[in-house]
A and B are shown apart, each in its own frame.
Chain A
């Protein structure tokens, strides 16, 4: 007896046959677990009552007597220019880079899809007006806008830090790390949705003309019901594919911002900062540049392969091979 498959079940079957995509998915899972779970497990318990901290180091703890050490049992990947554990900095940096990628992508998904689908669904003058606004934003240099924007927001971050730390009693270290990232998230996310909006609009225009939407209209469904039940689910395929491809874009963008000295602040690390600092020791300690580059490239490759695989799986018509 044959069972009917939903769109997503079909896609999963096709994805499973794409070995590159599956390997990439595995690699990404491992990197995610390494970056988010390992530091968490490693820092359970305080130095007094647990042995864990001996194998997972504080990424910001420096020891000037132990600079540029080679890999050892104590420091798995050696130490950097200030005697900090490279392995710990790599994973903590990964947290920030991956978070930037994911959060900025979700921002752009939410804003882009709602903006684009409304423009496409309403159509006419509203559509023209909304899309011209997108065109204007497109015309402005992205990097400059993000820099301006994050400077603008960071003014307010100080009062937010005091509020969270002193009035709400949150953990000081966490608050500083967190508020440090908000300008970056908001700036990248709030300006990174433009392409997403165009895609969503194009999809909406296409789906709007389909018979099942006309049927829904004639059945008297409200606009909201049509949008959420028919249009949005049907355009998810290309959107998801595009989203996986934007994650590496945002990670790269954070790296370039950090490279310019506009990303997370000292002494915290992100992959971009590790690359920037490592580039300074290219001649004298190349491992400082090579180690983060390798992990960074692996992640970007994996995300790209996964995105490709998803495109083939979700949209077999578009696949050329």
Chain B
């Protein structure tokens, strides 16, 4: 009896200790003005000129800042960032950016036009091997320099007449240049810091480690606890530091979208960037005020490695594309109001992508038979995917559709993000599930990546006609005519299907009502400097 008393006493004591601080993690964090965000996975790198993924960009946008800054509510408005003001000539080919005098790096070093020049030279240096260098091909001479036709960076037309002025000359009329400068490939990097930890062209330069990194954005990196969190705190040397309301941000690499959602409902996160499909319904029932469903300029597709014998034949690729019942995947698995894609680029404004693909089993079967495959000689494929659970379900659905309707023997191989990117880049796959979210609100953000040798092409596919059509479109100054040319280019690509369109995304995520200043944006990139947290 005494023993029972002891046990219950210990139990009661433990309970009372636990209940000392009953507030949820988010409430405490809100009080300290620290934003807790679920960020899907561990980033591969934090170097703006190396990374390519959305996960990385979510963090880099907090740490670095380009010439212009995104508006918190309106995608068409560009706010001054590192540049105080800018002007362009009449046909948008000559741009001058005036950098602010008080721009500083987080270590106090002044930020000058030289840092921008260094960053541009770094990303364009062929030996550096940046995957995303073609984002700067808008600069006159950039493509030639990057492809080794010229080894003198002065042939690229960016000039710094004085430390606070940057003059750019572009290949073609580009009214959306300010949108581009908000993409991390255009961000400056601290020349002094990068060079003290390696050469300019050193790819795995340790300057982004927490103990070394110097940045110019509203926040600076404080710690990177692998598989726990990446923490950033307000940067006191930021030019607009007075406006900052947050004291810090923590990015949590939670791979399992269900776990992430549960952590949110349990009060451990202020927001997520994604939401598992089944959780949409659950969130609607339990916390409708936290559920956000917004349009998102992104597309999902299956890349085909056209150098692999399995899918080398365009007929096979077409058969595979025709056999996917996209609407069923959207209705039964995704459940987030996505739309079935009939081409890679989603429609935007006046841009109407070609209706290249639909769900047509009979044609798919006939095409596969023509290519010499059938039930007695099954086509064998490896489908590469990341190890996220929501990805697994989509891949299993596609796998079953191919198996049940075409008799295709498809094996799913799942890897975590870094290995996945590595296999993708080295073309060690047949078919690969992937997506692309827009870097700026224009169809070329989707079309440029499929150019010959593009760092994000990753299919081994190229077509000189396609490259030529894109070039012609880039030279066109009439917006409507330009869109028609781009549509024609996309049709050329969809004839050969280097990637099989799946669906055009919407974004579904969870956000606590405590978060202020987070508005629906088509690119789903929210400038953290305007965000505030209210008290619970």
Q: Which residues of A contact B (CB under 8 A)?
A: 60-62, 64-65, 67, 81-83, 172, 176, 261, 265-267, 277, 279-285
Contact = CB atoms under 8 A, between A and B. Distances in A.
Contact of B332 (A67, A176, A282, A283): A67
Nearest to B283: A283
A75 to B, nearest CB: 16
A82 B393 contact: yes
Interface in B377-395: 378, 387, 389, 392-393, 395
Contacts of B256: 280
A163 B157 CA distance: 57
Contact of B278 (A62, A266, A281): A281
B391 to A, nearest CB: 10
A281 B409 CA distance: 28
A65 B400 CA distance: 13
B282 interface: yes
A130 to B, nearest CB: 37
A78 B411 CA distance: 26
A266 B392 contact: yes
Contact of A82 (B258, B389, B400): B400
B425 interface: no
A265 B282 contact: no
15 contacts: A62-B396, A62-B400, A62-B404, A64-B333, A64-B397, A81-B278, A82-B397, A261-B387, A261-B414, A266-B392, A266-B396, A280-B276, A281-B278, A282-B258, A285-B278
A277 B258 CA distance: 10
Interface residues of B, number: 30
B328 to A, nearest CB: 4
Interface in B276-294: 276, 278-279, 281-282
A265 B413 contact: yes
A60 B412 contact: no
B404 A61 contact: yes
B325 interface: yes
A65 B412 contact: no
Contacts, number: 64
B329 interface: yes
B265 to A, nearest CB: 9
- Decide if the interface of chain A is mainly helix, strand, loop or mixed: loop
A170 to B, nearest CB: 14
Contacts of A282: 258
A267 B409 CA distance: 12
B432 to A, nearest CB: 15
A278 to B, nearest CB: 11
A239 to B, nearest CB: 38
Interface string B406-425: 00010111100000000000
A173 B258 CA distance: 31
B397 A62 contact: yes
A64 B332 contact: yes
Contacts of B331: 64
B282 A176 contact: no
B399 interface: yes
Contacts of B279: 283-284
B41 to A, nearest CB: 13
Given A64-B325, A280-B276, A285-B278, 10 more contacts: A64-B331, A82-B396, A82-B400, A83-B332, A266-B395, A266-B414, A280-B278, A282-B258, A283-B278, A283-B282
Contacts of A284: 278-279, 281-282
Interface in B323-358: 325, 328-329, 331-333
Nearest to B414: A261
Given A65-B332, A266-B399, A280-B276, A81 B413 contact: no
Nearest to B280: A284
A64 B328 contact: yes
A279 B262 CA distance: 11
